[in-house]
Every structure is written in C-alpha cells, then in structure tokens.
Amino acid sequence: MSRIGFIGLGIMGTPMAAHLVAAGHDVTGFDLNADARAKLTEAGGTAATDVAGAAQAAEVVITMLPNHPQVEDVVLGTVLDVVAEGTLLIDMSTIRPETSLAVAEAAKAKGVRVLDAPVSGGEAGAKQATLSIMVGGDEADFTAARPIFDALGKTVVHVGPHGAGQVVKAANQLMVGGIYALVAEAIVLLEASGVDAKAGLDVLAGGLAANRILDLKRETMIAREFQPGFRIDLHHKDMGIALAAARQVDVALPVTGLIAQLIASARAQGYGSLDHSALLKVIENFAGRA
Amino acid sequence: MSRIGFIGLGIMGTPMAAHLVAAGHDVTGFDLNADARAKLTEAGGTAATDVAGAAQAAEVVITMLPNHPQVEDVVLGTVLDVVAEGTLLIDMSTIRPETSLAVAEAAKAKGVRVLDAPVSGGEAGAKQATLSIMVGGDEADFTAARPIFDALGKTVVHVGPHGAGQVVKAANQLMVGGIYALVAEAIVLLEASGVDAKAGLDVLAGGLAANRILDLKRETMIAREFQPGFRIDLHHKDMGIALAAARQVDVALPVTGLIAQLIASARAQGYGSLDHSALLKVIENFAGRA
Amino acid sequence: MSRIGFIGLGIMGTPMAAHLVAAGHDVTGFDLNADARAKLTEAGGTAATDVAGAAQAAEVVITMLPNHPQVEDVVLGTVLDVVAEGTLLIDMSTIRPETSLAVAEAAKAKGVRVLDAPVSGGEAGAKQATLSIMVGGDEADFTAARPIFDALGKTVVHVGPHGAGQVVKAANQLMVGGIYALVAEAIVLLEASGVDAKAGLDVLAGGLAANRILDLKRETMIAREFQPGFRIDLHHKDMGIALAAARQVDVALPVTGLIAQLIASARAQGYGSLDHSALLKVIENFAGRA
Amino acid sequence: MSRIGFIGLGIMGTPMAAHLVAAGHDVTGFDLNADARAKLTEAGGTAATDVAGAAQAAEVVITMLPNHPQVEDVVLGTVLDVVAEGTLLIDMSTIRPETSLAVAEAAKAKGVRVLDAPVSGGEAGAKQATLSIMVGGDEADFTAARPIFDALGKTVVHVGPHGAGQVVKAANQLMVGGIYALVAEAIVLLEASGVDAKAGLDVLAGGLAANRILDLKRETMIAREFQPGFRIDLHHKDMGIALAAARQVDVALPVTGLIAQLIASARAQGYGSLDHSALLKVIENFAGRA
C-alpha cells in the first residue's frame, strides 16, 4: 500500500480518493473547498491544509485539476519543490499534451517520475471505479502505478510516452463531439422529413452507423432531455485541447475544427450547463427547426 | 408465393433475386447485362428480354437500380405503363427522396402501390440475406411485402410515409461518412503525436466514442488496407442524396456539408474505387502526413 | 437591328427587354404574367400569347428564367422546335452548367446557335444597363451577340466554351456568399469584444481585406438593415448551382460547402426574403449574439 | 520629439525604428541579433546591450515582437520593472487580445500607460511607412502617440479600449485568409471546368465579388508564383490568435474555424515559407487538381 497525496477533490477527485482509501492506501488530500476536504476525512482519508501538506510525505502524488493553469500552479509551483526524489506524480487532469510534456521535463530535472493519465467515463465512472484511463510515460512507472489505476478504472492502457495519455483523451473527445453532431444532424433531417425519428435511429443503430452514443442517448435526445452527464462547458474546454494538440504536432483536422465551433456555439448560446448531447440544440437552431 | 419482376441484376440485385427464387417465388428478371440475366436463370429464375417483359405479368415489381435517372427511366418510362392496377412496386434503389415521392405520386395515379425500400449492408449483406431494409410507404403495403423483405434482410423497419426509407438511408450514410472522417482524424492525430494508434483506438473503442466502424475497420485503416467493401464513388453518390434530402425539406446540416466535400475530395484525388475507409487518405493528405 | 424574342419578363427581364427596344430592336416577348406582358407593350415591344409566339419569327431568342427546369421546359420543350435553323439563342438565366451543356447539344442537333450568358448586378444593374455578363459559347456567336449585350451591361466578357458563363457566375456567387460570411464573422467578433465595429471595419476596408461588400454594405450590416437587394432565397439557389458545378467536374470545395450550408441556414431560419447580407443573422445566432 | 526605446528589430522593427530616427526622435533599440542592432546605429539610432538598457530612460517604449511569450518575457519580465511611472508603452506586436489585457493590467499597477497597436501592410508597409495601425487603449494615450504612429503608417485608427487593436487585427487576418481561400476555390472551379481563369477572375473583379486580393494577386496565383510577401507560417500564427480572441469572448465563428484548418494544412503540407496566397495549393490538392 502507498502513501498517496491527492490534490483536487472535485466531482471526480472525491470518489476517486475514496476508492483509494477503500483499497487500503494511506491518502492525504487537499482541495481549496472545505466541504471537499471534509468528505475525504469522512471517507477515511486525511485532509491537508495546503498543497505542500498533501504532497510532501507522499510516495505517489495524484493531481485531478480543472485545466493546465491549475496544473502549472500546483505542480510546477509547489509539488515538485516539496516531494522527495523518486516520487511518482500521476496527473489525471485533462490538459493539453504540451503542458504534460513541460511537467515531465520539469519533473525529470528534479528526479521525479511522472505519468499523464487522463480519464473518461465521467462522474458515474469515477463513482463506480469504471473509468477508462489513458496513460502516457515510461513503462516502468506505468507498471508501478498499475494497482492504483486498477482501484479507479476498468480499462487501463499504456498508450505511449509522456503526453500520449492526453493525446488519446483528445482523440476521444473529438470523436465523441463529432458523433453527437452527426446524431443531431440525423435527427434533424429525419424529423424535418416527417420520418419517425425513433424508428429511423433504431435502424441506424443496427447497421454500420451503430455507436455507443446512439445506444445510450438517442431516446433522451429525441425527447430533448439534456440534464448532465458531461457538460458542454467541459467539452468546450476539451475541444480547445484537441485543437491545441493538433497544432502542437502541426497537423490540420478539418472536421475537428468545425466540431469545436459547434460546441463553442452551444456554450455561446447559453447551453454550457447542459449535457453535451445538447449539441442537438445548436444543430436544430442552425437548421431552422427550433 | 408471388410472381415477382426483378429489374436491375447488379452486384446487389443478383444475390437478392436468387434469395427470392430460393424462397419459392416465381422471379422474372431483367438487366441490360446478358451475364446477369444468365445468372438469374442458373439460380432458377426466368430472364426477360426487356423491362416490360419482366414487369408486365408480375404481382410485385422490385427495382434495384444505380440512381434516380435509371429509376425514372424504368419506372416512369415503362413499368407503370405495363403493370396491372394493384401491382406492388418496391423500389430498393438508393435515390433521393424527391424522386421516391414523384414515383409514388405517378404510381398512385395509375392505381399502383409503391414502397421505397433502400438497403444497407452492402454486397455481403445481399449475399447473406442480412440487409437492413428501411421502408417508406403505407403500412398495409409494408405488411404485404414483409415476406419478401424477410427473404432478403435481417433488420426490416417501416419508418414512415413515401420517401421515408430514402431519408433514413441518407441519414445512415451521412453518419457513416462522418464517423469514418472522425476515426481518420483520430488516427492522424495519434500517429503525428507519436502515440501507438492501435493502443489508442483500443481505448476509444471501450468508451463513449465506441462505434461499429472502429470495431470493424480500425486495424485495416491503421494498416492502410482499403480494398472495398463499399466504394468511395458510391458513398459520394449517397452524400449527394443526403444533401439533396436536406435541401428538399429546407434544413441546413453543417457537418454533412463538410463530410460531403471530404468524400468528394477522396474521389477527386483518385480514390473512388477504394473502400470508403480510404477517407483516411484525404485526411492524412490534408494533415500533411502523406 | 434584330428581331428578338424575349421569354421571361420578371424583375430582371422587364427592364432588359425595355433596353433592347430602346436600342432599336424589334422585341416580341412572353411571360406567364399578364402585367409583365403589358409592361413590355408599354415599353414599345410586342406581347406574344405563348412561348412559341415569341420565339418563332425571331433571329435572336433570349431566355431569362428562374432555374433549370424552366429552361428545359421552354427551350427543349418549345423554342428549339419552332425556331429556324441558324437562330441565335441566348440563355441569360442563372442555371447549372450541366443544363447549359445539354441545351447546347440539343441546339446543335437542330442547327441553332446558343450562348449561355448569365448576369450579375441584380435589379439595379438590369435597370441601369450596367450588368456584368459572363458568356460561354463560340467566339463567332459572341461577336454576333455583342450589340445586344452592350445594350444591357457594362462588363461583357467571353469566358470560354458552352457552360463557361454559368461556371463564372457560380464562382462569383460562391465568392460573394463567402465574403458576406467573413464580414459577418468580423462584425460579430468586433462587437463581442467591445470594439467599435464601424471604426474596425473602416481600418479593414483600407487594407488587404478590402472588398466591395465591405464598401457597400458595412454600414447597413452594422445597422442590421437587410432590405433586398438580392434575396437569400436566390443566393441559396445559386449555391446549389455552385455545388452542382463542382460536382460535375469532380472537384471538392471545402469553403463553398460550408458557405452553402450557412446560406441554407439563413433560409431555414426564415430570412429567405431578406438581402443576402442577412447572413449576418445566421452568424450572430450561431455565435450566441442574437 | 521623444526618447524612444525600441525592442524587437526584425524585418518590421528595423525599418520602423529607422523612420522614427528620421522623424527626429531619439531612438535606443535592442534586439538579440547583433546585425539588427548594427542596422539601427547605421540609421542613426543607439543600440542598447539588453532590454533594460533600451527601456529604462525612454519616454516611450515600443515593442515589436514575434508572439505573446516574447511580449510576456520582455514587458512583464523587464520593461515594467525598469521604466519610470508615466512612461507610454506601445506594443505593436500581433498577439492575442488576452495578453494585451494582461499587459495593460500589469502596466496600470505600475503607473505605466499602454497601447496595443498591431499593424498590417507587411514588410513593404513598414519600409514605406504606409502601415495600417489599429490602436487599443485610452484616447488620451492614443493622442499622445499620434506623432509616432504618423511616422510609421498611413491609416491610423483608435478602435477601442485595451486589446481592441488586437481584435481588429485578428478580424483583418481572418478576412484575408478567408478571401484567399475563396479566390482559390474560384480558380480551381474555373480551371477544372475548362474556363479561362484569367478572363473569369477579370469579370469577378468588376462586380460584387471585387476585392483587393483579387486585384493584387490573381495573376500570380494563376501563375502559381508564391514568393512571400506574408508567409503562411505567420498567417497560421495569426489564425491561432483569431480563434483565441473568439474563444476569449465566447463567440463561435464557423468559417474562421475552417479557414484556420486550411492554413494549418498549408503549413503541415510544407508550404509554411511561401506567401499566404499558397493556400491555393491546399485547395487544389484537396480538389484533386495537383
């Protein structure tokens, strides 16, 4: 069992830290929010009073933060200064690959090992410990971290060197955003043509167009029920990461570029707090079907 | 059992007609190609010498033709003039909904019943009688045609009034084209970032981005194997239908508009005879990864 | 001076026919609308009672019709059957190049000479005889028609073989639609950023981004005044022609594909009767700035 | 006359600093490149040995730097620490508005006045002192800086508060990029259709599609001459700024999103050092006309 410092006890971090406690780890956590810290102590962990307090005695530090500026602040600003050489830092935040590479470089200079390990599966996946975890970094560090990942997720894959986890997450998000847009256009076309959308999507779900979004969301989308789930605002952040990841390696992605604008439109039109399936609202406004 | 006239004995029509013979129907078929006619007689059907010969004595006429001009020629030019009142005409061609509506109107004027019933599943689905069949028209006619459809396909759904079958097929094709483009952009991003594309797509296939194309085609796409399957040229035709269907009901579909140009680009770049997964070549050329 | 048959006396055709009368030609015209016919007689022309009556005695037949089905009806259905060999047919309608080629072929078979000669400049250009006229067909026929064109327009250019006039018109319309969209995005970005849009566009109009739309329309666009001018509905038709023209020669045009959907969205959202500068409304709705 | 510190003596900064010397100002400049410093002394200015040396005694500090990281380094890292209260800082770099706002806030805290004043017109405009200058910041500071701007440019406009200059520059660049793409699609369509592209573009240049790019570049584009001019790599940077500017104020811009990918594609395909009119190569590759 390991002494784990866990920084970032939000919607995702809170249940993840609890799973680690339940798995027998000694977890000291920190979050700016006092309620979040209280939940950790209720779950059997220890609350630190600041980032340094959570990190300094840890063998493994896990960060689960909103975006790259927070990772830069916490990791570059504090964690790397207080941990011992040889500590393993697992950044499970979804951020742009560029920052993961910068963190890896800064960590290496201090003799700290690091993995980027973003997840998909959302709040439900965090609660049920069924997350998909995409891991970038050295094989040996991945192997060492395996018991921790296994306490948190179901699909755990080492996909390549530092930053690779973030790239795979970015690829996941561009595909998910794109498939939502396609399902939305299919629904709009069917409805505008006087076709029974449910019957139509049932056929599609049985053929080459079959996909998990169609399976899970077609009924709520047709009913225009958009409670999150995963919010548009978060997907908007993630499309920014996908575009930054492409820019970083000098590739151009035409469909991703358009999907990013569609999701930005969802946010701009005021749907930021709805589920990402609310991309349908953008498509139907655009199609004059609002 | 029915007397069936089957017009259009191509890659799809030949095995379909054979299944109908095998199911006990009396099938008289026609195609301009003599070899195709010979195959029908070998399968136990009868070859007619022209469209009228195949249609005139039939209780049910099935057409399986390349595109709307052929349907207009065959159906409006001949079939409706030679068949008896009450005949059931099943057009299984993939054409624009507008033409299906025009055919339905012309048929009604002559007392002929009509269904539009395009299929998906390709040559393999035709041979194995596992097609998905999307049917537009009157419920009673659908019920009457059910035994015929059951001899040809596995998923058979009545999706709405005349033209609805074509609209659902169009929705299917825009989704399939779009998902190919998304998988292609994911592969290009992963490879350009130095990530193991296979490992990355394996993770994606286990999460919300999961889809049948990823299941069936990710290995061949990564290996750049593009033997058809379903050719780019045919998907190009089908995207034209999707755009025409949207235009017909005055809706605008931004992603479909872009996907149509990507597939047009595949054809323009000389990949028309390759499988539609060769959309990857367009994306990698665009991304400077050729 | 020539005996001219003029078919299609709409908003454009009426002033054009009047200019030809004023230039000394003997003009016999036809339109389904009686008021339109009356205007021609007031202008000094002669009204025929049908297409054949306008065409049969003419040395030059001019058609100015809404779209390709009308051209097919009028030209293929009547004009080519009643005119004498050697007659010059000038189709000034904006239609897809494919139909212009079909008309040229049918005309050749009857010994009729034909030019496609679509115009730009709108109602104002027609009234002031300042149209731009883009002419496809044989050089000799262009030379013969020159006096007629000079009575109607200011910029008259022979751009290539049959259909070339339509292709140039299509290129014009895709550029105009695209520039409107770009001006709209600039306005939305400026306004959302708290920048004085007028001052900002003034700078743009003085640099490499300068264009005629910015010159003529920036004030009305900023003021949201969208009286036509040239209606969205007509531009929607023209984008369909641009896409068809590209498809016909197997090229893919990514920006045109998107612009076509934006203009389709304008129509779908109910702005079809507004000036095409109302594309701004689509962009601001999309951008959440409505 | 003012004591001016000029930091960043590149292709643009060198002739600009020389114009300021010629206008009678006392210019002390710095650049990491020794040749650039030598050119300034040849022109009658003084070379400093570091940023602080150029800035500390200046009444006006001008920065002309590649992108926001350099502006952050130079301005936030040094200039604001060494200049006297009341100094006027004019940042003429093209950067994202967000950074201009951060600079303005940091400057205010130190009692330093600041303007963002990006330019368009390129190397030729810098050499001939005919730049367009788009200025954001307080009116009084703009008035104070006016003589300096007048020594550098022809069109000088105060467009709004801090950051507004950058937003207008971003709007300029998205329009320029977009118009290049539209001209490219027009050329590809004309050529593929067998139309004389020169004759066709001549007509377009006389109508509503008229624009400065068509005026200046249509002949070189048709001839495929792409010597810069303004390089694709720089336009790629600027499209990144345009997207960031839109994101910052939460608007979505569909055409800009696509144009950004097209220009990214130009760079990815290896055309980064060519003139931005080389966007034509992306369009013709996409259209299968390479």
Tell whether C92 and C211 lie within a shared domain.
Answer: no
- Please tell me the least confidently modeled range out of A87-96, A198-207, D253-262: A198-207
| H/E segment holding residue B36 | helix B34-42
Nearest to C271 by CA among C253, C256, C258, C284: C284
Tell whether C274 and C176 lie within a shared domain.
Answer: yes
Query: What is the CB-side half-sphere exposure of residue C112 using CA atoms within 13 A?
Result: 28
Beta carbons of D19 and D64 less than 8 angstroms apart: no
Q: Give the 3-state secondary structure of chain C.
A: CCEEEEECCCCCHHHHHHHHHHCCCEEEEECCCHHHHHHHHHCCCEECCCHHHHHCCCCEEEECCCCHHHHHHHHHHHHHHHCCCCCEEEECCCCCHHHHHHHHHHHHHCCCEEEECCEECHHHHHHHCCEEEEEECCHHHHHHHHHHHHCCEEEEEEEECCCHHHHHHHHHHHHHHHHHHHHHHHHHHHHHCCCCHHHHHHHHCCCCCCEHHHHHHHHHHHCCCCCCCCEHHHHHHHHHHHHHHHHHCCCCCHHHHHHHHHHHHHHHCCCCCCEHHHHHHHHHHHCCCC
Residue C89 CB: number of other CB atoms within 10 A? 26
Show residues of chain B in contact with C260, CB under 8 Å. 257
Query: What is the CB-side half-sphere exposure of residue C235 using CA atoms within 13 A?
Result: 35
Beta carbons of A178 and A259 less than 8 angstroms apart: yes
- Is pLDDT of B165 > 90? yes
Cα D95 → chain centroid? 8
pLDDT interval class at A1 (50, 70, 90): confident
Virtual torsion, Cα C179, C184, C187, C188, nearest 10 deg: -140
- State whether B164 and A196 contact (CB < 8 Å): yes
- Is pLDDT of B278 > 90? yes
- Give the contacts of C38 (CB within 8 A, at least 6 positions apart): C47
pLDDT interval class at B290 (50, 70, 90): confident
pLDDT score recorded for residue A40? 98
Tell whether A13 and A117 lie within a shared domain.
Answer: yes
b vs e for A218-251, b when ≥16 Cβ sit within 10 Å of the residue's Cβ? beebbeeebebbbbbbbbbbbbbbbbbbbbbbbb
How far apart CA D213 and CA D235 sit, in angstroms, is 15
How far apart CA A111 and CA D228 sit, in angstroms, is 46
Tell whether D277 and D219 lie within a shared domain.
Answer: yes
How distant, in Å, are the alpha carbons of C29, D115, D118, D139 from that of D159? 55, 11, 12, 10
Of A250, A258, A264, the CB nearest to D258: A258
How far apart CA C111 and CA C80 sit, in angstroms, is 9
How far apart CA C213 and CA B164 sit, in angstroms, is 42
Which residues 150-179 of C are in CB contact (within 8 Å) with D? 155, 157-161, 163-164, 167-168, 170-172, 174-176, 178-179
- Which range of residues forms the domain containing residue A50? 3-162
Mean pLDDT of chain B: 97
Q: Which of A169, A217, A237, A281 is catalytic?
A: A169
Q: What pLDDT, in 10s, does the model give residues B112-152?
A: 999 999 999 888 999 999 999 999 999 999 999 999 999 99
Of D160, D206, D287, the CB nearest to C195: D160
Q: Let me know if C127 is a catalytic residue.
A: no
Strand pairing category for D60-63 and D3-7: parallel
Show residues of chain C in contact with D172, CB under 8 Å. 203-204, 207-209
Q: What pLDDT, in 10s, does the model give residues A233-270?
A: 999 999 999 999 999 999 999 999 999 999 999 999 99
Show residues of chain D in contact with C251, CB under 8 Å. 188-189, 192, 287-289
The mean pLDDT of B10-18, rounded to a whole number, is 97
- Please tell me the least confidently modeled range out of B228-232, C231-235, D93-97, D190-194: B228-232
**B283 and chain A: CB distance < 8 Å anywhere?**
yes
In chain D, % of residues over pLDDT 90? 97
Q: What is the DSSP string of B85-149?
A: TT-EEEE-S---HHHHHHHHHHHHHTT-EEEE--EESHHHHHHTT-EEEEEES-HHHHHHHHHHH
- State whether A253 and D261 contact (CB < 8 Å): yes
How far apart CA D171 and CA C207 sit, in angstroms, is 12
How far apart CA B63 and CA B52 sit, in angstroms, is 12
Q: Residue A114 maps to which CATH number?
A: 3.40.50.720
pLDDT score recorded for residue C122? 87
Nearest to B232 by CA among B167, B157, B156, B177: B177
Of B253, B256, B264, the CB nearest to C252: B264
Mean pLDDT of chain A: 97
**A285 and chain C: CB distance < 8 Å anywhere?**
yes
Cα C247 → chain centroid? 20
In chain B, % of residues over pLDDT 70? 100
pLDDT score recorded for residue D30? 98
How distant, in Å, are the alpha carbons of C12, C20, C35, C41, C67 from that of C47? 17, 14, 11, 6, 22
- Is pLDDT of A286 > 90? yes
Residue A105 CB: number of other CB atoms within 10 A? 11
Show residues of chain B in contact with C268, CB under 8 Å. 250-252
Show residues of chain C in contact with A252, CB under 8 Å. none
pLDDT score recorded for residue D120? 93
Tell whether D77 and D204 lie within a shared domain.
Answer: no
How far apart CA B230 and CA B211 sit, in angstroms, is 18
- State whether C203 and D287 contact (CB < 8 Å): no
Q: How many domains does chain A have?
A: 2
Tell whether C150 and C65 lie within a shared domain.
Answer: yes
Where a domain ends, among B135, B162, B189?
B162
How far apart CA B182 and CA A177 sit, in angstroms, is 10
* Residue C262 to chain B, least CA–CA distance (Å): 7
pLDDT score recorded for residue B42? 97
Q: With 0-12 CB in 10 A as exposed, 13-18 as middle and 19+ as buried, what is B76? A: middle
Which residues 210-269 of C are in CB contact (within 8 Å) with D? 210-213, 216, 242, 245-246, 248-256, 258-259, 262
* Residue A220 to chain C, least CA–CA distance (Å): 23
Catalogue the active-site residues of B.
169
How far apart CA B277 and CA B217 sit, in angstroms, is 8
Q: Residue A194 carries which DSSP code?
A: T
Tell whether B62 and B150 lie within a shared domain.
Answer: yes
- Is pLDDT of D290 > 90? no
| H/E segment holding residue A125 | helix A122-128
How far apart CA C40 and CA C38 sit, in angstroms, is 5
Tell whether A201 and A233 lie within a shared domain.
Answer: yes
- Is pLDDT of A3 > 90? yes
Tell whether D146 and D253 lie within a shared domain.
Answer: no
Tell whether A180 and A267 lie within a shared domain.
Answer: yes
Q: What pLDDT, in 10s, does the model give residues B22-36?
A: 999 999 999 999 999
Beta carbons of B132 and B153 less than 8 angstroms apart: yes
Torsion over CA: D91, D97, D103, D106 (sign): positive
pTM of the model: 0.96
Tell whether D12 and D80 lie within a shared domain.
Answer: yes
The mean pLDDT of D261-277, rounded to a whole number, is 98
Q: What pLDDT, in 10s, does the model give residues C200-213?
A: 999 999 899 999 99
How far apart CA C116 and CA C133 sit, in angstroms, is 10
Show residues of chain A in contact with C288, CB under 8 Å. 265, 267-270
Q: What pLDDT, in 10s, does the model give residues D33-54?
A: 999 999 999 999 999 999 999 9
Tell whether B227 and B147 lie within a shared domain.
Answer: no
- State whether D252 and A258 contact (CB < 8 Å): no
Nearest to B31 by CA among B57, B5, B3, B56: B5
In chain D, % of residues over pLDDT 70? 100
Q: Residue A49 carries which DSSP code?
A: S
- To the nearest 10 degrees (0 to 180), the angle between helices D279-286 and B254-268 is 80
Strand pairing category for B119-120 and B131-136: antiparallel
* Residue C52 to chain D, least CA–CA distance (Å): 33
pLDDT score recorded for residue C290? 87
Where a domain ends, among B162, B188, B204?
B162
Where a domain ends, among D161, D182, D198?
D161
Beta carbons of D216 and D236 less than 8 angstroms apart: no
Beta carbons of B259 and B236 less than 8 angstroms apart: no
The mean pLDDT of D83-108, rounded to a whole number, is 97
| Chains in contact with B via at least 3 Cβ–Cβ pairs below 8 Å | A, C, D
The residues of chain C scoring below 50 in pLDDT are none
* Residue C27 to chain B, least CA–CA distance (Å): 38
Show residues of chain D in contact with C277, CB under 8 Å. none
Of how many residues is chain C composed?
A: 290
* Residue D186 to chain C, least CA–CA distance (Å): 5
Q: Residue C241 maps to which CATH number?
A: 1.10.1040.10
- State whether D264 and A258 contact (CB < 8 Å): no
Cis peptide bond upstream of A77, omega within 30? no
**D287 and chain B: CB distance < 8 Å anywhere?**
yes
Q: Residue B10 carries which DSSP code?
A: S
* Residue A267 to chain D, least CA–CA distance (Å): 7
- To the nearest 10 degrees (0 to 180), the angle between helices C254-268 and B254-268 is 150
- State whether C202 and D97 contact (CB < 8 Å): no
The complex scores an ipTM of 0.95
| Beta-bridge mates of residue C132 | C120, C155
Of C254, C258, C288, the CB nearest to A265: C288
